[in-house]
Structure 1
Amino acid sequence: MNPILKWLEVPDGQLRRQRMAAICMVALAVFGARTIKAQDNPLDKVHVPPPAAGAPATGAPAGVDAPAGTGAGKTRPGSLIKMNVDMVLVPITVTDPMNRLVTGLEREDFQVYENNGEQKIKSFASEDAPVSIGIVFDLSGSMTSKLVRARESIVQFIKTANPEDEFFVIGFNDRPELIEDFTSSVEDIQARLATVRSGHRTALLDAIYYGVAKMKEAKHERKALLVVSDGGDNRSRYTEGEVRSQVRESDVEIYSIGIFDPYAATPEERTGPILLNDLCEETGGRLFRVDDVSEMGDIAEKISTELRNQYVIGYTPKNISRDGKWRKVKVKLSPPSGLPPLTVHARTGYYAPLQ
C-alpha cells in the first residue's frame, strides 16, 4: 500500500482530515515553487544559443560599429550609428591663376589616383552641403591690437556660411579653451566673442589638436577648421609631429587666416606661417595671409564662399586591404579647352582602416 494512504488510514476522522490538509499544503508549496522557477527563467524550455564571437547582435546589420565608449552591442540614446562603407570622399577646391574660385566643372573633368593607381569615381557633387566648422581663435598677447578686427571677421565668416552649418569656437593663449560649443546661432557666438580678452603666450598646436578632436562630435559629414592666428607656437604640450599625425588621421580640412609680422623676432614666429601652410595644404584647405587687418573680413567671407562651392568626389579604393597604411591621393584635372591653367586643392592622402 502507498505509504501516504497508509498514513491516512486512521480511525479518528478529525485526525485523518488534519493529515489530508497537511499533504495538500505540501503539494501546493512544491507546485508553487516550480511555477515561480519557470516564470523566472522562460529560456529553461527554449534554448537560444548566443551569437558566435564577433557576430553582430540580432537585428543589427553587419558592419555597424558600436559608438565609442559604450561597449560592444550598446548605443547611447540619440547616438549615430555609422555604416562601415569603404567610400573615400575628397572635397576639392579649384582656383585660376588669379586665385579666384572656379565653379561649373563636371565629373568628367576630374581624375583621382590612389598610390598612383587611377580610381573609378562613383559619386560627384558640387552642391552647397552643410559643414561642421570649428573656429580656432588666437587670444595671445600679440593679438591685442588685432582683436576687434579678428572678431569682426569671424562674425562675417559665420554670417555668409550655409544656414545649416554648425560652429564651435576655441580660444587659445597659454592653453585652448572652448568658448562656444556646437551651435548655428550667430547671435550666441557673437555674444561670446564680445567677452574674450587677449594676453599671455601662444599654444597654437594644442588648440589645433583640440579642434580636430572636438570634430568627433560633429553632425555633418564635411568638417573644417578655421584658424585665426598671428604667430608661431611657443607654449604647446603637443609636438608638431603629433599634431601632423592627428590631422592626417582625421577628415578635417584646415583653413587659416594668418596675420604674420614680416619682421618676426623669434624662430617660432618665423616658422609659424610654414607650419600653418603645411597643415592647410595637406588637408585640402588653404592659408590666407593678411597684409592689412582691414582686409580680414573680406578674406573670411572668401573662405566661407569657398567652403560652399567645393566639389566632392567619392570613390571605392581598388585596394581593399585594411592595413592601416598611409595612402597617397592625387586629384588631376582635365578642364575644357579655352580655360587657363587651374590649380586643384585637395587632401593629399588618408590612413586605411585597420578593421
Structure 2
Amino acid sequence: MRTVPLIGDILLAIALTGCATPPMAPVQMPARPGQLKLCAGAPATPSGNLASNPDYVEFAVDVIDSTGAPTTGLAQSDFVATGNGRPIPIAYFRAEQGRPPVSIGILVDKSGSMVTKLPVVSSSVDALLSKLEPCDEVFLFAFGMDPILVEDFTTDHTLISQRMRLVGASGQTPFYDGVRQGVARLDAGHYPDRVIVIFTDDLSSLDNASRHATRDDVVSSALNSQNRFFVVGVGKPDATAHPISIGIYSLTFGSAHNGVDAEDLGKFATDLGGEFFLITAEPDENAPKVSTRERNVSVYSPSPRRYAPLVADPGQVQQFAASVASQIDRHYTIGLITSGPPASTAGQISIKLANHPSARTTVHPIKLPPSTPSH
C-alpha cells in the first residue's frame, strides 16, 4: 500500500495550490515619479567649530504638557542635559520657528492576514497625511513575498493616498526583511529629520518568511540610526485563532485573520526606541466581503475564504494621526559635546526641563550632514 506517500502527495498538492494563488490587486509601479517640491531653505546650523567637532551631537527636543500640547517659548536655561548621570553643558540651542520638513517612510504589511485590515490602514494613512506640511516628503513601501516601492519620495500627499488604495494582500510575511528594506530606502531622504511608520498586525506568528534579517538585526540598526519609529498594530485584540494549518515548508498554527498581537508589537516598538499605537477595528458586516486564501493553506479549507473588512473608530484614527504629527514636530534643537562616537552616546543622554521634571520631554538624535574641513 502507498498510504503514507499518498497523504504526503495530497498535502503537498494542497500547499502548492495555495502558493500558486496570485496576489490580490497587484500594485504596478507608477508610470512616472510623483511631484517632489522640497523646501529650499536649509535649517540653521551651529558654528563651524561645533559642526566639525567629531564629539558634537544634536537632538530634536519637544516638551509636552499634561494636555498633550507642545510647550513653546522655552529658553536654553530651562533645560538640563546629563550623560550617564553627569551634567553636560549645552553647546548649542535653537528654538524653532515652525518645524523643519521631514522625510517619512510609510511601511505597510501586505501579507494575507492584512486583507481585512488594509481599509483601516488606508484611512489611517489619509489622516496622517492630512496633518503633514506641504514640504514633507513621503514614500510608500508595501512588504510581503513580493515587496514593492508603491510610490517613491514625493510631496504629493494625495498621490500617496491614491496609491495606498491599490495595495492588496496575500502570502506570507517576511516582516524583518521588509522593515530593513524600507529603512534602507529612508536613507535616501533629503531632510535630516526622518520618520518610519510601520503598519502590521503581528510578529511572533506572522514573520514566517524572512531570509535576510532578524529581529536583532532590525533593532540594532534602528538604535544606531537617527530615525524615529512608530509601529501601528491594526486588528481585533480578542480575535480567536484558526485551527492548525499546513504550509509548504512546515507545520504552523494559523492566526486569526482579524487578530493583532498588541503585546509583541508594543515590545518591538520599545526595542526600536519608538512608540506603539493600537488601532482597534471590528468587522464591518455591511461592507462587501473580501476573498483570499489563508496564509498557510488549511487542510480543512483549501478554498478561498470570504471575510468582512475591518473598520475602526474615526476618533481613534484621528487620535493616532494627531499624536504622530505632534511628535514629528521639532520645537527645540539642542547640541552637546560628548565623549565617544555619537551612535554609542546618544542612548545614554537625557535632556529634561530644569524646573519641571514631570513634563514629558521627547528627545531624538538628528542626523547631521557630513562636516567639511575649514581652511
Query: TM-score with structure 1 length normalisation?
Result: 0.64
Quote the Cα distance in structure 1 between the aligned partners of 2:352 and 2:332: 13
Quote the Cα distance in structure 2 between the aligned partners of 1:132 and 1:162: 11
Deviation of 1:130 (Å):
0.4
Paired residue type of 1:274: G
Does residue 1:248 correspond to 2:216, yes or no? Answer: no
Deviation of 1:170 (Å):
0.9
Deviation of 1:131 (Å):
0.4
Deviation of 1:137 (Å):
1.1
- Conservation of the 8 A alpha-carbon contact between 1:288 and 1:299: no
Where do 5+ consecutive residues of structure 2 fail to align?
Answer: 1-50, 242-252, 282-311, 371-375
Query: TM-score with structure 2 length normalisation?
Result: 0.61
Paired residue type of 1:103: T
Quote the Cα distance in structure 2 between the aligned partners of 1:211 and 1:312: 28
Match of 1:294 among 313, 329, 337: 313
- Conservation of the 8 A alpha-carbon contact between 1:256 and 1:287: yes
Does residue 1:124 correspond to 2:94, yes or no? Answer: yes
Quote the Cα distance in structure 2 between the aligned partners of 1:217 and 1:180: 14
Q: Could you give the per-residue CA deviations for residues 25-81 of structure 1, whole angstroms, max 9, x where no partner exists?
A: xxxxxxxxxxxxxxxxxxxxxxxxxxxxxxxxxxxxxxxxxxxxxxxxxxxxxxxxx
Quote the Cα distance in structure 2 between the aligned partners of 1:325 and 1:255: 22
Deviation of 1:324 (Å):
6.8
Quote the Cα distance in structure 2 between the aligned partners of 1:322 and 1:96: 32
Does residue 1:91 correspond to 2:60, yes or no? Answer: yes
Equivalent residue, structure 2, for 1:341: 358
Equivalent residue, structure 1, for 2:37: none
Equivalent residue, structure 1, for 2:104: 133
Quote the Cα distance in structure 2 between the aligned partners of 1:307 and 1:125: 16
3-state SS, counterpart of residue 259 of structure 1: strand
**Compared CA separation, residues 142 and 164, structure 1 to 2 (3 A):** same
Percent of paired sites with the same residue: 23
Q: Is the helix fraction higher in 1 or 2? A: 1
Equivalent residue, structure 2, for 1:259: 234
3-state SS, counterpart of residue 134 of structure 2: coil
Q: Could you give the per-residue CA deviations for residues 110-167 of structure 1, whole angstroms, max 9, x where no partner exists?
A: 2222233322221233431100000011222222222112112212211220111001
Does residue 1:115 correspond to 2:119, yes or no? Answer: no
Equivalent residue, structure 1, for 2:334: 314
Alignment map for 1:1-355 (pairs within 5 Å):
84=52, 86=54, 87-97=56-66, 100-104=68-72, 106-107=74-75, 108-121=77-90, 122-126=92-96, 127-174=98-145, 176-232=147-203, 233-234=206-207, 235-237=209-211, 238-263=213-238, 265=241, 269=261, 272-280=264-272, 282=273, 285-292=274-281, 293-295=312-314, 297-319=317-339, 321-322=340-341, 325-327=344-346, 328-335=348-355, 341-347=358-364
**Compared CA separation, residues 153 and 315, structure 1 to 2 (3 A):** same
Q: Does 125-134 or 198-207 show the bigger shift?
A: 198-207
Deviation of 1:192 (Å):
1.6
Quote the Cα distance in structure 1 between the aligned partners of 2:73 and 2:82: 18
Provide the alpha-carbon RMSD of the alignment: 3.2
3-state SS, counterpart of residue 102 of structure 1: coil
Quote the Cα distance in structure 2 between the aligned partners of 1:157 and 1:277: 19
